[in-house]
Structure 1
Amino acid sequence: MSAMSESNANTTLDLSGVRHHDVDALGTRIHVAEMGEGPMVLFVHGFPESWYSWRHQLPAVAVAGYRAVAIDVRGYGRSSAPRAVEDYRMVRHVADNVGVVRALGEDSAVIVGHDWGSPIAWSSALLRPDIFTALGLVSVPYNARSDFKPSAAFRMMGGDEEFYIEYFQKPGRAEAEMEVDLPHWLLGMYYAASGDGVRARVASADSSGGRFTVAPGGKLSDRFIWPEPGTWPHWMTEADFDYYASEFTRTGMSGGLNRYRNVDRDWEDMAAFDDAPITQPSLFVGGEVDGPTVWGAGSIAKFPQTMPNLHKSVILDGIGHWVQQEAADELNAELLDFLAAL
């Protein structure tokens, strides 16, 4: 095991106080992991992740006097995984979040999302401002609905290749790549999108990696870069990785991928919210070398109009996509500062 792995703070992380249970969220079984008592903070993960992605935030927020709740999003982990693609449309995810708040006996919550959890969180805030009274976004900045169809935008982003979201659209196609050796694929995904992966590509002068596009006849993993054998990123231990790998080996990848397959359906469903601002108090934290944050520079520049009650927008130097794991202490500090200001 490398020195990088041995120094990982995760090795001393105490999650013994996490309470696990399943709730009936308006007819959908949602797995909940929670700590603490007080005002509720609901954490929503992205792809390909789990409630476990918030393992650093749960104890920090709980100790500060809040009820910290992280869910397995539908299709992941121990939550329900409907078979129909359309059951993963955004309005269903919003209903799950509303159902979790109610099932836990609360009237309102601050909602915080990362990656796909970010648009799920902001959609929850748009549709139910009475319940979701404040909003934290990590990695993916708020991008108000426009008249440009998402599938057309992703096609443009890919250029002569396929942008990864376009590659994910056909059911079974991406699964066929990922599930041949799922742990290997996951490790490549986690490392390639992290700050560690970006630095490794720079050091190796690899100009093809990190583009998250697929060449004709190729696979997304053709562009991945993996850590050296026997080593782990500084933010992930072997035990952390094993948790993710065991969860996805058990569930498969379709539940997570089906979220991507609803982008145009969501665009149609959310037409009434075209160009709508987020009016609740809000926070954005991104990583300097995180793809969605870099691609979202235009959206970040529009925050004064799209999130007029923004508390702070923070870009963390050298951090990649897995912000809440790569920069746990920094994100926790920003979250606690935001919560204290509410």
Structure 2
Amino acid sequence: MPQPTPVQHRLVRTPGGRIHLVEQGTGPLVLFVHGFPESWYSWRHQLPALAAAGFRAVALDVRGYGRSSAPAAVDAYRMLDHVEDTAAVIEALGAGSAIVVGHDWGSPIAAHTALLRPDLVTAVGLLSVPYAPRGGPRPTEAFAGLGGDEEFYVGYFQQPGRAEAEIEPDVRGWLAGFYAGLSADTMPRGGEGSLFFVPEGGRLRDRFPAGVLPSWLTEADLDVYAGEFERTGMTGALNRYRNVDRDWADLAPWDGAPVTQPALFLGGTLDASTTWMREAIEAYPTTLPGLVSCHLLEGCGHWIQQERAEEVNRLLIDWLRSPAVGVG
């Protein structure tokens, strides 16, 4: 087994500015795309494992995060812009093509890069958030019908400055509560109310667990995440949510379109993303016909590649080495 090369940080030019990435190893390119509210650092357990297994593992900071460009315009965070960034990174790395793996918001970014740029994406891995093709009503209209008297979190994030006013006075504390609230060992149980709904006049953080970190998150890890957002602010990250209706319009030509490359899906049984979107998983024979491997990890929450790093690494490498993917 090859010894992994040291981690290297790079900035690459894209049509939207620059993307910061972290690279380790040599071999077939596997590109990791994080979600909200995270960074390349969310893949810290995967980079050395895949490098040791003979892959070129690269994790990027999505636009609006970390050292990547953060355009001022809200509409600069459309899905089409993220696809363009991901494609530009693959091309800048000179690999010709890549396997793209995404978590949370990174999952639909990975899926849509595969859908729109099949010339560049040979296989796609989706973590926590299932692929669901464009369709149905306008997203914000659908979200407005959820929660009764309470407001669904995506709707709460829509107005620029509103969520920032909650988060930015105490970035570290807010992140700690959000991570804990969606982790298997610290998420609320029973009647505490859903973390995804905001009561009238309340805040999202009002239902976060207080004073506890999940087992996968050390104080030093939290410092890394908090340090990035304390420097950049939260607007770039939140602007992804503020484009769901624009995405719905932009992607109309691909309404109902399947992603056909060899695929992997990993989710946690305690993750609301996999329970709310159960029908999307059940539709995979139609929407993800190249699905090679699908695993729901029992007792796992949302931060799957950090909560279950060794298990996820094994499943990723097994999938990459499968005959269908054919790169291992």
Do the two structures share a fold, i.e. TM-score over 0.5?
yes
Query: SS of the residue aligned with 2:130?
Result: coil
Structure 1 counterpart of 2:222, one-letter code: F
**Could you tell me which of 172, 192, 196 is aligned with 1:212?**
196
Match of 1:67 in 2: 56
Secondary structure of 2:166's counterpart equals: helix
TM-score, normalising length from structure 1? Answer: 0.91
Q: What is the alpha-carbon distance in structure 1 between the residues aligned to residue 197 and residue 218 of structure 2?
A: 28
Aligned to 1:12: none
**Which residue matches 2:124?**
135
Query: For the structure 1 residues 241 and 211, does the alpha-carbon distance in structure 2 shift closer, same or farther, using more than 3 Å as the test?
Result: closer
Partner of residue 7, structure 1: none
Structure 1 residue 133: deviation in Å? Answer: 1.0
Alignment partner, residue 250 of structure 2: 269
Deviation at 1:27, TM superposition (A): 4.4
C-alpha contact 2:124 2:261 (8 A) present in aligned 1: yes
Percent of matched pairs sharing the same residue: 58
Query: What's the counterpart of residue 11 of structure 1?
Result: none
Match of 1:153, as an amino acid? A
Q: Distance between the aligned counterparts of 2:5 and 2:119, measured in 1?
A: 33
CA offsets, 1:246-297, max 9 Å, x none?
0100000000000000000000000011000111000000011111111110
Say yes or no: does 1:297 pair with 2:278.
yes
Structure 1: unaligned runs, 5 residues or longer: 1-14
Aligned amino acid, residue 151 of structure 1 = T
> Quick one: which of 288, 291, 301 aligns to 1:320?
301
Residues 1-342 of structure 1 mapped to structure 2, 5 A cutoff = 17-198=6-187, 201-202=188-189, 205=190, 207-228=191-212, 232-341=213-322, 342=325
CA positional deviation for 1:313: 1.2
Q: Once the 2 structures are TM-superposed, how far is the Cα of residue 91 of structure 1 from its aligned partner? A: 0.5
Cα distance in 2 between the residues matched to 1:211 and 1:70? 28
Superposed CA RMSD in Å reads 1.4
Over 3 Å counting, the alpha-carbon distance change for 1:281 and 1:16 in structure 2 is closer
Contact 2:195 2:204 in 1 (8 A): no
Q: Secondary structure at the match of 2:31?
A: strand
What is the DSSP-based 3-state SS (H/G/I as helix, E as strand, rest coil) of the residue aligned with 2:202?
coil
> How many angstroms does 1:74 deviate by?
0.2
Letter in 1 for 2:209: I
User: Aligned partners of 2:16 and 2:98: how far apart in 1?
Assistant: 20
- Amino acid paired to 1:308: P
Match of 1:111, SS state, is: strand
Contact 2:179 2:214 in 1 (8 A): no
Change (3 A) 1:117 1:255: same
> Are 2:5 and 2:51, in contact at CA under 8 Å, matched by a contact in 1?
no
Distance 1:92 1:158 in 2: 31
CA contact (8 A) 1:227 1:233 kept: no
Contact 2:16 2:69 in 1 (8 A): no
CA contact (8 A) 2:78 2:247 kept: yes
Matched-pair contact (CA < 8 Å) for 2:5–2:24:
no
Q: Retained in 2: the 8 A contact 1:40–1:68?
A: yes
Contact kept, 8 Å, 1:209 with 1:224, in 2: the verdict is: no
CA separation in 2, counterparts of 1:227 and 1:289? 21
User: With structure 2 as the length reference, what TM-score do the two structures score?
Assistant: 0.95
Residue 58 of structure 2 aligns to a residue in which SS? strand
Q: Kindly state the Cα deviation for residue 55 of structure 1 after the two structures are TM-superposed.
A: 0.3
* Aligned structure 1 segments of 4 or more residues deviating by more than 4 angstroms: none
Over residues 77-97 of structure 1, what are the superposed CA-to-partner deviations in whole Å (9 max), with x where a residue is unaligned?
000000100000011100100
In 2, Cα distance between equivalents of 1:227 and 1:287: 24
1:21-44 CA deviation, whole Å, 9 max, x = no partner? Answer: 111023420001010011100000
Deviation of 1:209 after TM superposition, in Å, equals 3.6
Give per-residue Cα distances to partners, 1:85-142, cap 9 Å, x unaligned. Answer: 0000011100100110111111100000000001111110110011011000000000
